[in-house]
Amino acid sequence: MSRPFPYTYISCPCANTPVPDPSKKRRSRESPQKSNPDQPKPLVPIDDEDEAFDPRSPRANFSLYPPEQLLYCEDCHQIKCPRCITEEIVCWYCPNCLFETPSSMVRSEGNRCARNCFNCPSCTAPLSVSTLENVVVGGTSQQGPWVLSCGYCMWSTLDIGIKFDKPTNIRTQLSKLTEATPVRSRQMSRTFGELKSPLSTYSSIDEHFPPPGETNTKPEDSPEQPTIPLNSDARFNALKNFYKTQISATSSSPTDPLGMDFGAGFSSPGALNRIMSLYTSSSRLSSLYGGANKKPKTRPPVMREALTASEGLKIPAPDAEEALIQRIAGPDCGWDGLASLEQRSFQSPDARFVEDLLPLPVLLRTKRSKRCKSCKHILVKPELKPQSTRFRIRLIALSYIPLPTLRPLNPGPHAAAVLPTPAGSTAPTTSTSTTLTNLDALSPLRPIQLLLTLKNHMFDPVRVTLATPSVTPGRVASKVTILCPQFDIGANSDVWDEALQGAAAATPAPGTATATATATTTPSTDPRGSRSGGLGVYEKVAEAGKVWDKGRNWTTVVLEVVPGTLPGGVRPSKTKKYPVHDNEPDTTTTNTNKNNNNNKKKAHNASDSDNDDDEDDNDSDSSADLPALDWTGQADDPGQKLQPDEDVLEIPVFVHMEWDSENQIDNEQAVGRSSGDTVKRELAYWMVLGVGRIVQ
Amino acid sequence: MTSASSSFAFDDKRPISMSFRHSQSGGPSSPHTPQHHLRSNNSSFASSSSASTSFRGEEDAIIFEFGSRWLRAGFEGESSPMCVVGCGPEESRRVGDYRGWLRNSHGTEPPSVKAEEWTGAYELWKMNVRDMELGLIEDKIERMFRETYNKYLLTDAGTSRLVLVLPSIMPHPLLSSLLSTLFSRWRFPSITLLTTAPMAVIAAGMRSALVVDIGWSETVVTGVYEYREISLKRSTRAMKLLLQDTGRLLTRLSNNSAASQPGDEIAVNFDLCEEVASRFLWCQPTVSPKGSLGPSQQQVAEPQESDVDTANQGLASVSDEIVSLPSPSAPGTAYIDIPYSKLTEPVEGVLFAKGVPDCELDDEEKPLPLLVYNTLLSLPPDVRGTCMSRIIFIGGGSNIPGIRQRILNEVAFLVQQHGWSPVRGKVIEQQRQRLQTLRLSQAPPPADLTPEVSPDSPKSPTETSTSETQDEEEIDPIEQKIRRNNKDKDTVPPVQGVFREVESLGSWAGASLLTSLKTRGLVEIEREKYLQHGLAGASRDLETHGHAPDRRSGLRTGGDRSSWTLAGWG
């Protein structure tokens, strides 16, 4: 993805509750909170859940958010994404001049700034007002007509032949200029004064009331008549006026005020007797009308259609399209003379050429307060003033959920030097990984180790259980193992406290912490875990069942990832790395075995993906290179082609956290024991770790 | 019988019965009290549900028009939508994924994909719901709405009435998930549904018209008479196929040497292709008789460049022009020059089925002129006469320069060739000849069997085609009487029987116009009622609304408010 690797995304739990379709019975899916990972089964949630979260599914794009964009509702105790909040606008302001627009004015100004803020129609950069001539006469400088000009692409309103008389109130000047000009022709250079002439306005009295003799020929004649065609705004208004007059003419005709249809009948004075008899007859309108007036003498007049251009009718000239074609093909138009789709998106619908583009007033922006959708509590409330960036209330999720950060584990130089002794074969791996953990180019099937740090911002210690599918979903199946899936994170206590504590008992404090950690995690691990714990003499070797590092309010665990092979063929690089691979799958299998046999079994059972087969072949025999080659030969058909972003290694991780709230005083003792007055809280969500991009 | 409208004979002609806020003193009306508070339809003032609607403030309704690709949104009473939002892959990225802004990433060669996938990523929905994930569509709709409100409408979502302009045929699962998403996500008090075609008619100032909607996935030709959809025909020859064809053309242009490219694969950037299509695609407005036989007669299978020389002299020079486009392989750096005439090939091939014999065309892929002709043919003669002189082009394809004239010309040619008769074939032709010789003895018939439709003669072809024995200048006494009776009102006889194009402001503007006149739609879904039963709560009993069960215009003429209906969507 576009974020630099590694990144983390959090999936809002609201994605698991589908939009209720009232016509069907509610398919109540199990929400992720209901999983119960209290039992010492490390990876139970995955088996219990419906299915693992797939970060590659198209729907996932709509539920994944960067952690910093999420909110948290303290009453629902739930993460809130933009989909599960409602928003209320606090104020409207122009992002360019930072002036606030009163709410009554927003609509009438078309949601755009009414001052001098404009965007360039061709490149969207802000336009500046500048003068054309600057003649200094005497002491005062005489400034000429003004134009709007773009500092980026050098566009100016002179290109479309518009000059302004004053440097202020550009918007009103511009709207007058554009409203009065029906169809903009490019050669005409207009100034404000020119357009004030009454000849340039389209509507005249006699257009509204055509003489009766002339009306017969009107519809046929109107295209030929040199009447200036209206632009779409004016046409719309003409149509609106036309419909209004038609409705009033048809609904309340003077000859027969009672015979009309029910539309707006009560306005006329003649409707009084009808109102008087309203309650004598039945309340139904039909009987009312039928009873009150015997029979309509004349038929209700029928609304007619628009007949003249002043009523909004527009019959395009037969040669209009031809002229358009010729202009497009003409030498002075070309590709750059035509407006692009992006440029046209906010212009009038008939703007087709660059000359038709008008400067766009800046769209206003809003400050919004946000409420939880389910309990209506305010989550975010910004300051009212547009200039202020402060918030009165802001419940961001990161102060409640641990902040996940991921980084590759690069063994230090001394560790790499020490490591070769226990197992000589692992030496090339680690040494190469020190040099090669380039996350933008992960080589397939080479295990990497990642450090996942969760930092707690709450004032309560949190117990976290992580779970991940052993093989990432999708075609590029990478194997993932969390070496220590269950751990505690300390409370976000006062820094001074920690400093004091650390001074008092420098060595015991981390010792106890790790002791508790191992005490909690050892039941879940194999006895082999303790044996490998003996390996920890060489410090900083990733071990199963042990946290990597732990601080005041953070804990780091190790993830071991074997990136899968891409379905595009891995011929050249793979054969070279064979000696490495022969050893590495062994280490991973032992690790996974240590962690949970379940997981490994599942991975092998679910060997539906070709990559798994591929890897198994590599394990067993190096001669399995040939089938791999064949397989890559098949990959030429389009179904096997690499989809965009399929090579990105993303790991879905299910996070379940548990804490006792309201015991902020004695947090150190409260670990593991829940006293009676505290409330146990838990929160569960999926998180996606973007590790890197796999290359071939 | 529930509404007053059913008691009057002429009320069927007035589906728009409305009250409006501002007192309109149109010329000949008597002085009357301004009507300020009667916002809702008067017919329902006795029912309880309208009371709640009238208490709502003067909040302007918000109008959304849904297409397969674009969502137009804005306030009622405005002439054009505030914004047009797409739902392409750029819009469906994760939050915080700003890849679309990295323009330099475009240097990579776009992979060649199948044409269907190439366009499929840019669609909001397909009308074929079978292999569509409705949840994904709900997600997209939710995000589009939220961002539209936050970025463009700048008003609190859910406070005001919502008006949706939808195609007149929607799969129920789609409609249901659309409404469920909107109702459950925001607190819209009610949602009104309006159909696309009658709205375009309203925005043209007409009451009846033939609406040719050259849309994304299909071209829909709708005959609208008195704001009602009378008949409707559709064809898959629309912008999607056109864009795919343009993509193939650009792919061929970009790698001339590599002929190994499979036929269906497109290896150009979609945005670039759409740019090219929107800027440069065009169409010969007039075709010489030989060329215009194209859709009906058999021609060479492959489109030849030499066909262009059949263009009339006015545009002959245009065809020789060379235009330069950004090179599809390296946009932004290089340009390629291609003849302008080449850019009419996709339009000819896709929309007009040039070079494909008529017999090979399936029912759903008729070329546009034939589609228009067939729709007109299926209309009753009177309606046909009215509609053919009010042809409205909407949809993205209507912006292709030259296409409107071309369709009109070809339809006129079809009429000239076949008349208004669906019957074709050699045997029929022989029979006609025989009949004609029989009739020659009695009376001199029109010169040709096909009624000649000349634009200046005011007679309607409906008369000539249906009643062959009658004279052209036959005088209808009833019509004359009607004309005499309301002499004072409109002395203008309606234009009919002539091919004429009328320009519309578009469906969105029509809905805006209609809503600003405070007309209630026939399909108005109240929040509580929908949330109780969903779409299943809609009453199917159309008779309770006092209508014949035909396609509805979407405008409410009054009636019972306690139940709601989906009208044409039901």
Asked if B33 and A269 touch (Cβ cutoff 8 Å), the reply is yes
Average pLDDT score over residue span A390-403:
89
User: What is the predicted pLDDT for the residue at A417?
Assistant: 41
Confidence of residue B393 (pLDDT cuts 50, 70, 90): very high
Confidence of residue B65 (pLDDT cuts 50, 70, 90): very high
Give the pairing of strands B113-114 and B265-266. Answer: antiparallel
Of A2, A24, A245, the CB nearest to B97: A2
Percentage of chain A exceeding pLDDT 90: 6
Instruction: State pLDDT tens for residues A463-497.
Output: 999 988 888 888 888 888 888 888 888 888 777 77
> What confidence score (pLDDT) does residue B430 get?
86
Residue A33's CB: how many other CB atoms inside 10 A?
A: 15
Q: Evaluate if residue A442 carries a pLDDT over 70.
A: yes
* Selection from A514, A465, A462 nearest residue A485 by Cα: A465
B14 reaches A (C-beta below 8 A): yes
The rounded distance, in Å, linking the Cα atoms of A165 and B550 is 59
Q: What is the pLDDT of residues B343-358, one digit of tens each?
A: 888 898 888 888 888 7
Residue range A31-48: average pLDDT? 39
pLDDT of residue A364: 92
Q: What average pLDDT score do residues A157-172 get? A: 86
Q: DSSP letter string over B440-452?
A: HHHS---SSSSPP
Interface residue A3 vs chain B (CB under 8 A): yes
pLDDT band at A301 (very low <50, low <70, confident <90, very high): low
CB proximity under 8 Å: B 70-129 to A: 75, 77-80, 82-84, 92-99, 102, 111, 113-114
B69 or A134, higher pLDDT: B69
Bridge partners, residue B339, by sequence = B322
Contact predicate B329/B109, CB 8 Å: yes
How big is chain B, counted in residues?
570
- Tell me what pLDDT residue B445 has: 46
State the average pLDDT for chain B.
74
Mean pLDDT of B22-38: 43
pLDDT confidence band for B99 (50 / 70 / 90)? confident
Residues facing B434 on adjacent strands: none
Residue B435, pLDDT score: 85
Tell me whether residues B92 and A61 touch, CB distance under 8 A.
yes
B157 vs A86: CB contact, 8 Å cut-off?
yes
How distant is the Cα of B440 from the closest Cα of chain A, in angstroms? 36
For B7-152, list the strands marked E by DSSP.
62-66, 70-75, 83-86, 113-114
Query: What is the pLDDT at residue A154?
Result: 87
Tell me the two tokens of residue A115: 């001052």
DSSP secondary structure letters along B193-240? EEEHHHHHHHTTT-SSEEEEEE-SS-EEEEEEETTEEEEEEEES-SHH
Residues of A in contact with B17 (CB under 8 A): 251, 261-263
Structure confidence at residue A272 as a pLDDT band (50, 70, 90)? low
Restricting to A residues 17-46, those with a Cβ less than 8 Å away from any Cβ of B are: 18-24
* pLDDT of A291 over the 70 cut: no
- Amino acid in position A485: P
Distance CA B349, CA B237 (A): 10
Q: Distance between CA A579 and CA B249 in Å, rounded?
A: 49
| Upper half-sphere CA count for residue A446 (Cβ side, 13 Å) | 30
**A5, A108, A286: best mutation site toward chain B, by most B Cβ within 10 Å?**
A286
Cα A445 from Cα A560, distance rounded (Å) = 12
- Residues with Cβ within 8 Å of A132's Cβ and at least 6 positions away in sequence, in order, are A144, A145, A146, A147, A158, A163
What global pTM score does this model have? 0.74
Chain A environment of B546 (Cβ under 8 Å): none
* pLDDT given for residue A139 in this prediction: 65
- Asked if pLDDT for residue B250 goes beyond 90, the answer is no
The pLDDT of B555-560, averaged and rounded, is 46
B546–A contact, CB cutoff 8 A: no
Chain mean pLDDT for chain A: 68
pLDDT number for residue B32: 52
Q: Does residue B391 have a pLDDT over 90?
A: yes
Task: Report the share of chain B in percent with pLDDT over 70.
Answer: 68
> Residue A157 is inside which H or E element, if any?
none
pLDDT band at B374 (very low <50, low <70, confident <90, very high): very high
Q: Name the band, by pLDDT with cuts 50, 70 and 90, for residue B21.
A: very low
Point out the least confidently predicted range of A56-60, A406-410, B160-164, B469-473.
B469-473
The minimum CA-CA distance between B314 and chain A, rounded to whole Å, is 8
Residues of B in contact with A248 (CB under 8 A): 20, 23-26, 29
Do A262 and B17 lie within an 8 Å CB cutoff?
Answer: yes
Residues A631-658 have a mean pLDDT of 70
- Quick one: tokens of B570? 């039901």
Does A341 lie at the interface with B, CB-CB under 8 angstroms? Answer: yes
A695 in Cβ contact with A436 (< 8 Å): no
pLDDT (tens digit, 9 = 90+) per residue, B360-370? 888 888 899 99
pLDDT of residue B392: 93
Give all domains of chain B, ordered by start, each with its CATH number: 50-87+122-202+505-569 (3.30.420.40), 204-236+370-468+492-504 (3.30.420.40), 238-282+290-365 (no CATH)
Q: Tell me which range, A568-572, B11-15, B332-336, B366-370, is most confidently predicted by mean pLDDT.
A: B366-370
Decide which of A646 and A481 is more confident. Answer: A481
What is the pLDDT at residue A534? Answer: 39
- Give the best-scoring range by mean pLDDT among A156-170, A411-425, A626-640, B215-229: B215-229
Is a pLDDT exceeding 50 seen at residue A585?
A: no
Alpha helices of B56-195 — where are they, by DSSP H?
Answer: 115-120, 134-147, 172-185
pLDDT exceeds 60 at position B107 = no
What does the pLDDT read at residue B108? 57
Give burial (CB, 10 Å; 0-12/13-18/19+) of B387.
Answer: buried
Return the residue of B nearest to A324 by Cα.
B401
Query: Higher model confidence: residue A130 or residue A289?
Result: A130
Q: What is the least distance, in Å, from the CA of B396 to any CA of chain A? A: 11
The closest alpha carbon to A487, from A405, A561, A553, A532, belongs to A553
CA–CA distance, A612 with A479 (Å, rounded to integer):
9
pLDDT digits (tens, 9 = 90+) for B505-542: 889 999 999 888 887 777 888 888 888 888 877 776 55
Q: From the CA of A196, how many Å to the nearest CA of chain B? A: 24
Q: Is the pLDDT at A136 greater than 60, yes or no? A: yes
pLDDT band at A34 (very low <50, low <70, confident <90, very high): very low
Asked if B413 is an interface residue toward chain A (Cβ–Cβ < 8 A), one would say no
Pair of tokens at residue A419? 């490591």
Tokens at residue A211, please? 């003489």
Give yes or no for residue B375 having a pLDDT over 90.
yes
The mean per-residue pLDDT over the stretch B404-427 comes to 87
pLDDT digits (tens, 9 = 90+) for A97-128: 889 988 888 888 888 888 889 999 888 899 98
More confident position, A316 or A204: A316
Residue A338 bridge partners (DSSP): A353
User: Higher confidence at residue A285 or residue A27?
Assistant: A285
